[in-house]
C-alpha cells in the first residue's frame, strides 16, 4: 500500500551557481547540511542595496541535493516526489535525469520519478533561481521553503490529488457526500469514511477508472468555526478483483451559501466573515514557517474573534490550511497578485519612483493554468476553504492597466505618484483585457470545483463594474471601497459583495455589521510581515494587529472588542500630541516624564468605562459605535496605577520599574527527537514586582545545550536590523521569542539566556 516519506532532513545546500551539480555523482561533501523547510534569504544581513519591498534581504541562485536510499521493493512501484513550494524558478533532476521546471514560487508541484529511481542510493537535485529580489510587493524568501515528500505506491494508483469529497446536502441529520475520483489504470475504487471520534461512518464503492459515488453519513457532525469536526476518507483503487494504491483524505461536512441580499450562510446559519489577511513569512524564520508557529498565531487570531483567513496573495503552505480545518477558520484561498501586467515593485522605499517591474507577470502566460489548477486540486478537500480568489488588485489604477473612462486616477497608495503615471496612456494595457482573463480563470476553477464561488479582490470596482471584470465573478471583493457598498447593492441586484481588504476603522466594520447584504471583511493585516516597508531602516510592514513575534498590539484589543461578546477591558497609553491618534501609537506602558500630557485609551465591548489614576476617578465615558469600542482621556503623566472598570470587568496598568528578572517560557515541555519538531520560547523582562518592564529593553544572549538548534530569534521591532543569524537580540517592549528545532537524540535541551546587566534565565525541554 501507499507509503509517504518526509524528505525534509539532511539536504546539502550551496549558495551560488555550480555548473554540473545536476549530476548524480557530483561531489557535494563540502556543501552545508540544511533541514527543510529552508529559506536562505534570512540567513544573510539586511542591506539597503536590496529591495525595500522584499525587506532588504538578498536572493541569488542556489543548489539543493538530497541523497536517499530506497529498498529493493521499489522496483515496479510508482514513485512521486512533491515539492510544497520553491521560491522560485525551480529546476529538478533525479539521478541525473532532468524532470522539468516550475516558475511560480508558491506552486506545489509533483514529479513522477518511477522511471528513474532505483534500489539503493538516489539523488534529487534542485536549482533555485531568485536573482532579482525586487520581484514582489512583499517578502518572498528564497529556497525550498516548504516540505518535500516522497510517495511510493502501486503502479495502479489514484491520480495526484485525484479524490475530491463534497457535501451535496444535509437532510434530517444525514449528510450526503459526493466522492469524485481519478485513478491510473484502475477498474474502480472503494471508500470508507471514519467519523471524528474514530468510528465507522459509511462505506461506498464505484466502478470505472474515473467516477463518482455518494455516501450517506447518519447523525453527521457539521464543520464550523465553533465545532471544526473532521472526517477521514480512506480510498483504495480496485484492479482485477484486488486492492491496489490507496489514499487518505480529511474532509468536513458543511454547506455554504453566499446571497446578494442576506450575505453569507454556513450550515444554514447567517454569519459575518470576521477575517484577517496574512502573508506567509514569520520574521526571523523567513518563508520557512513550521506548523507550530502558525498554530500559535492562529490561537491569537481566535482569541481576537477572527473566524476567517485570507491567504494574501498566493497559495499558502498546506500546514496553514490543515490548521484552519482543525481550529475552525474559514479561508479565502488566493492564487495571484498579478496576471499579464507587472505591477510596480518598490525597491528604494514605498512609492519611491522609479519602480522595477519584475515578478510573476513574466511567467503568467505560460504557467497560469497549471498554477491555478494545481492550487484548486491540492486544496479543494479542505472544509475551511469557502471561496477561491483568482487575483488581488489586478485592476489597480494605472498599474499597469489604464482606461479612457478615467483620464486621471489614483489608487489608495498613490499619494506620491508622478503626474505622468496618473494619466490615461493609450500605449499601456487596456483594463478591458482583465474581464477576458478573469472569465477564463473563473471557468478553470469551476471545472475543478463547482461547489465554491470564485472571487477577486478589486481595488477599482468603479471601473471594473464597467469593463465586465466584476460581472464574471461569483462574489465581488471590494478593497477599501466601503463607500460603494450601498450604491452597488442597488445598481447590481443579486451581486454578492464583501470587503476583501479593509482598514481597521470602526466605520469600515459598521458598514459590514449594519448591512445584511455585506458578507464580511478581511482586515489588512492579522500580523506584521517582512517587506512592503516604508524605507530604510524599517524592514517590515507594521499593518498587523499582532507584531512579527506574535504578540498582540493595542489594535488587537480594539478588534477583539468589536468582534467578541465576552466582557473585557484593556488600558493602553500614548502621547497626546502624537501626529496619529489611533491604537498604533499606543502601548501597554504607563511611564513617561512627569506632567507630560498622555492619551489613555480603554478598549472594551461594554457600553461605558470609568478610568481611575491612583484611586481618583477621571470620569465615566459612554462608548458609541462610531468610537470603535474605545474611550480616551487626556491625562498629565504621574507615576502610579491606572485602573479601568467597565461593567463587571476591570484592568490595571501601573508604572513599571527597571528590568529585574529575565524569564523564558516554552510553549511545550517536550518535543519529539525527529529533527523537525519545534519549541517556541517566549522571552520577557520583568520588574521587581513581576510586571513587564515595558519601558526597558536589553540585548539578550542565547546559548543552547543538547541536541537541538536555535533557528530564529524575533522581537518584532520594525527597525531592528540585527542579522537574523546572530544568537543575540534586543527585546522590544520587554519581550522576544526564540524558536528551537529538535535534533535526533533522546536528550534534555536547555536554553540559556543572559544580559550584560547580569540577568540570567534558563529553561529545559525534554526531547525523545
- State in Å, rounded, how far the first CA of the chain is from the last one: 29
pLDDT over 90 at 417, yes or no: no
- Position 768 scores a pLDDT of 95
178 and 168 Cβ atoms separated by less than 8 Å: yes
pLDDT over 90 at 714, yes or no: yes
pLDDT over 90 at 409, yes or no: no
pLDDT over 90 at 579, yes or no: no
Round to whole Å and give the CA distance between 349 and 243: 59
331 and 324 Cβ atoms separated by less than 8 Å: yes
- 84 φ/ψ sector (left φ>0, alpha ψ -120 to 50, else beta): alpha
- Position 351 scores a pLDDT of 87
pLDDT in tens, 696-711: 999 999 999 999 999 9
pLDDT in tens, 482-501: 999 999 999 999 999 999 99
The CB density around residue 11, as the number of other CB atoms within 10 Å, is 23
pLDDT in tens, 233-246: 999 999 999 999 99
Round to whole Å and give the CA distance between 207 and 209: 7
254 and 267 Cβ atoms separated by less than 8 Å: yes
> What are the Cα distances from residue 765, in Å, to 740, 746, 752?
10, 11, 12
> Which residues make Cβ contacts (< 8 Å) with residue 565, sequence separation at least 6?
605
Percent of the chain past pLDDT 70, that is, above it, reads: 100
- Position 553 scores a pLDDT of 98
pLDDT over 90 at 416, yes or no: no
pLDDT in tens, 241-299: 999 999 999 999 999 999 999 999 999 999 999 999 999 999 999 999 999 999 999 99
Three-state secondary-structure class, residue 291: helix
pLDDT over 90 at 580, yes or no: no
**Planar angle of CA 677, 251, 476, nearest 5 degrees:** 100
Reported confidence tier of residue 413, pLDDT bands at 50, 70, 90: confident
673 φ, ψ (degrees, to nearest 5): -85, 60
pLDDT in tens, 551-567: 999 999 999 999 999 99
Round to whole Å and give the CA distance between 602 and 652: 10
Q: Supply the mean pLDDT for the chain.
A: 97
Q: How many alpha carbons lie under 13 Å from residue 721 in its C-beta half-sphere?
A: 14
User: Is the pTM for the entire model greater than 0.85?
Assistant: yes
pLDDT over 90 at 420, yes or no: no
DSSP string, 502-546: E---HHHHHHHHT-TTEEEEEES-SB-EES--SSTT--EE---SB
pLDDT over 90 at 568, yes or no: yes
> Which residues make Cβ contacts (< 8 Å) with residue 40, sequence separation at least 6?
13, 15, 60, 62, 142, 143
pLDDT in tens, 141-172: 999 999 999 999 999 999 999 999 999 999 99
Three-state secondary-structure class, residue 29: coil
Helix (H) or strand (E) holding 669: none
Sheet with strand 148-154: strands edge to edge: 3-6, 148-154, 77-83, 109-112
Domains (range + CATH), the chain: 3-154 (2.60.120.260), 157-251 (2.60.40.10), 274-541 (3.20.20.80), 558-654 (2.60.40.10), 661-767 (2.60.40.10)
**Planar angle of CA 246, 247, 250, nearest 5 degrees:** 155
Amino acid at each position: 500500500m501507499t507509503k509517504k516519506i518526509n524528505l525534509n532532513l539532511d539536504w546539502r545546500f550551496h549558495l551560488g551557481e555550480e555548473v554540473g551539480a545536476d549530476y548524480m555523482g557530483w561531489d557535494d561533501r563540502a556543501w552545508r547540511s540544511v533541514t527543510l523547510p529552508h529559506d536562505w534569504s534570512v540567513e544573510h544581513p539586511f542591506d539597503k542595496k536590496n529591495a525595500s519591498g522584499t525587506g532588504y534581504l538578498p536572493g541569488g541562485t542556489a543548489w539543493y541535493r538530497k541523497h536517499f536510499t530506497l529498498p529493493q521493493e521499489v522496483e515496479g512501484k510508482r514513485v512521486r516526489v512533491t515539492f510544497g513550494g520553491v521560491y522560485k524558478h525551480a529546476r529538478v533532476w533525479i539521478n541525473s535525469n532532468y524532470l522539468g521546471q516550475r516558475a511560480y514560487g508558491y506552486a506545489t508541484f509533483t514529479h513522477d520519478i518511477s522511471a528513474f529511481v532505483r534500489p539503493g542510493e538516489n539523488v534529487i537535485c534542485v536549482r533555485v533561481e531568485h536573482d532579482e529580489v525586487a520581484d514582489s510587493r512583499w517578502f518572498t524568501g528564497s529556497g525550498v521553503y516548504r516540505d518535500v515528500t516522497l510517495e511510493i505506491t502501486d503502479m495502479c494508483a489514484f491520480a495526484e490529488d485525484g479524490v475530491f469529497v463534497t457535501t451535496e446536502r444535509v437532510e434530517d441529520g444525514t449528510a450526503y457526500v459526493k466522492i469524485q475520483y481519478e485513478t491510473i489504470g484502475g477498474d474502480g475504487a472503494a471508500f470508507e469514511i471514519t467519523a471524528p471520534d474514530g468510528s465507522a461512518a459509511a462505506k461506498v464503492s464505484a466502478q470505472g477508472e474515473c467516477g463518482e459515488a455518494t455516501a450517506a453519513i447518519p447523525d453527521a457532525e457539521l464543520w464550523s468555526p465553533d465545532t471544526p469536526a473532521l472526517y477521514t476518507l480512506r480510498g483504495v483503487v480496485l484492479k482485477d478483483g484486488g486492492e491496489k494504491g490507496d489514499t487518505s483524505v480529511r474532509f468536513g461536512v458543511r454547506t455554504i451559501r453566499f446571497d446578494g441580499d442576506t450575505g453569507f450562510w454556513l450550515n444554514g446559519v447567517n454569519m459575518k466573515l470576521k477575517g484577517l489577511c496574512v502573508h506567509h513569512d514569520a520574521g526571523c524564520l523567513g518563508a520557512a514557517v513550521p506548523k507550530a508557529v502558525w498554530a500559535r498565531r492562529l490561537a491569537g487570531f481566535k482569541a481576537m474573534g477572527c473566524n476567517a483567513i485570507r491567504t494574501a496573495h498566493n497559495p499558502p503552505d498546506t500546514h496553514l490550511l490543515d490548521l484552519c480545518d482543525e481550529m475552525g477558520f474559514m479561508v479565502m484561498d488566493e492564487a495571484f497578485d498579478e496576471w499579464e501586467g507587472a505591477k510596480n515593485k518598490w525597491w528604494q522605499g514605498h512609492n519611491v519612483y522609479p519602480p522595477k517591474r519584475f515578478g510573476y507577470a513574466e511567467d503568467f502566460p505560460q504557467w497560469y493554468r497549471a498554477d491555478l489548477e494545481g492550487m484548486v486540486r491540492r486544496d479543494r478537500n479542505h472544509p475551511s476553504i469557502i471561496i477561491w480568489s483568482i487575483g488581488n488588485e489586478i485592476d489597480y489604477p494605472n498599474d499597469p492597466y489604464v482606461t479612457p473612462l478615467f483620464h486621471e486616477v489614483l489608487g489608495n497608495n498613490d499619494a506620491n505618484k508622478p503626474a505622468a503615471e496618473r494619466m490615461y496612456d493609450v500605449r499601456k494595457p487596456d483594463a478591458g483585457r482583465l474581464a477576458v482573463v478573469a472569465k477564463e480563470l473563473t471557468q478553470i476553477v469551476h471545472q475543478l470545483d463547482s461547489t465554491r464561488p470564485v472571487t477577486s479582490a478589486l481595488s477599482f470596482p468603479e471601473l471594473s463594474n464597467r469593463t465586465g471584470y466584476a460581472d464574471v465573478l461569483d462574489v465581488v471583493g471590494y478593497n477599501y471601497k466601503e463607500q460603494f457598498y450601498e450604491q452597488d447593492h442597488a445598481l447590481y441586484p443579486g451581486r454578492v459583495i464583501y470587503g476583501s481588504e479593509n482598514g481597521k476603522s470602526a466605520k469600515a466594520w459598521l458598514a459590514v455589521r449594519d448591512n445584511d447584504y455585506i458578507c464580511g471583511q478581511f482586515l489588512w493585516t492579522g500580523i506584521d510581515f517582512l517587506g512592503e516597508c516604508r524605507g530604510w531602516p524599517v524592514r517590515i510592514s507594521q499593518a498587523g494587529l499582532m507584531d512579527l513575534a506574535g504578540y498582540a498590539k493595542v489594535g488587537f484589543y480594539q478588534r477583539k472588542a468589536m468582534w467578541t461578546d465576552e466582557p473585557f477591558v484593556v488600558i493602553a497609553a500614548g502621547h497626546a500630541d502624537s501626529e496619529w491618534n489611533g491604537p498604533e501609537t499606543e502601548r501597554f506602558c504607563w511611564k513617561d516624564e512627569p506632567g507630560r500630557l498622555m492619551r489613555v485609551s480603554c478598549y472594551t465591548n461594554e457600553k461605558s468605562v470609568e478610568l481611575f489614576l491612583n484611586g481618583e476617578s477621571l470620569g465615566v465615558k459612554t462608548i458609541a459605535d462610531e468610537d470603535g469600542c474605545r474611550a480616551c482621556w487626556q491625562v498629565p503623566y504621574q507615576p502610579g496605577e491606572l485602573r479601568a472598570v467597565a461593567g463587571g470587568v476591570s484592568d490595571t496598568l501601573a508604572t513599571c520599574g527597571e528590568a529585574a528578572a529575565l524569564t523564558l517560557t516554552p510553549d511545550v515541555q517536550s518535543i519529539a527527537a525527529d529533527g523537525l519538531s519545534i519549541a517556541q520560547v517566549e522571552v520577557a523582562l520583568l520588574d521587581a514586582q513581576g510586571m513587564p518592564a515595558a519601558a526597558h529593553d536589553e540585548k539578550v544572549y542565547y546559548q543552547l545545550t543538547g541536541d537541538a538548534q536555535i533557528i530564529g530569534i524575533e522581537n518584532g521591532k520594525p527597525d531592528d536590523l540585527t542579522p537574523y543569524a546572530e544568537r543575540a537580540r534586543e527585546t522590544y517592549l520587554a519581550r522576544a521569542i526564540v524558536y528551537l528545532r529538535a535534533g535526533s537524540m533522546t536528550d534534555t535541551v536547555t536554553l540559556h539566556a543572559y544580559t550584560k546587566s547580569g540577568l540570567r534565565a534558563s529553561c529545559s525541554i525534554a526531547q525523545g
